[in-house]
Structure 1
Amino acid sequence: MSGKLYLKDKLVDEELDLSMMQLTEIPVKEIEQLGSKVLKLNLSHNLLTCVPANLPLLTQLTSIDLSKNQIVELPENFGQLTKLKSLDLYSNQISKLPVSFAQLKSLKFLDLKENPLVPELAKAAGPCITANDCAKGFF
């Protein structure tokens, strides 16, 4: 590989697995070229520090795993991902969520554990341990 990502090789059953690839940025344009085939995006265990503002343009996404990165904040337009059902932000550096987050009406699973959340958000997120705990009482 000459520094270029061959994303097609990483796409299996609508899930694009880009985990553990030492990525420092999300290759949104390349993901976009795969079109509506990508419904689930796994970017866990990388070196990401931010989520680009063009990621929410991938409106077909139903699941995003950004766990175990160093992400500090989500873009203001994150709420455009209205089909998102699952969002894993476990073990990042996120302290608050953008206001547009309220638009994520399809969201069923959200993991914010191991983040330096502001007290109000930590209280709202609650100490859920399992996916079931998270599903209960979040919305």
Structure 2
Amino acid sequence: MELSRGGRNTKIHAAVDALVNPVRLFLTPDNIHDCTAAIELLSGVKLSETTVLADKAYGTLDIQTYIESQHATFCIPPKSNATDPWACDFYHYKERHVVECFFNRLKPFRGIATRYDKRSRNFLSFAFLASAMIWLK
């Protein structure tokens, strides 16, 4: 884990199904941009004949080509500075709230909300445990 300006921070990247159940979790240092971890996150998920909903941060050409190579479609809005913006179905994009709902379900677990663990391995292990508790509900 790298040190950022704020100290030891990490980001949890999550792939979530339509029922707010976590499918895959991935941890990166805080100073790494979201789009650099997206292909590695999606590589562990079966994408064929699905639609990937993601935030603008994941709207790069590499991610789009990876999703299309997996025989899936994407619903990612283009960034405001995109030179060649693509069409986005914003009615379908509203369903992306399930990812936010998943992170809201993680917040009651104090170990995740306050990041007590110094080692990223222990932090990710507790995130997996919390995810299992979410699956069991």
**More helix per residue: 1 or 2?**
2
Q: TM-score, normalised by structure 1?
A: 0.33
Higher-Rg member (1/2): 2
Relative contact order (alpha carbons < 8 A, sep ≥ 6): 1 or 2 greater?
A: 2
Q: TM-score, normalised by structure 2?
A: 0.34
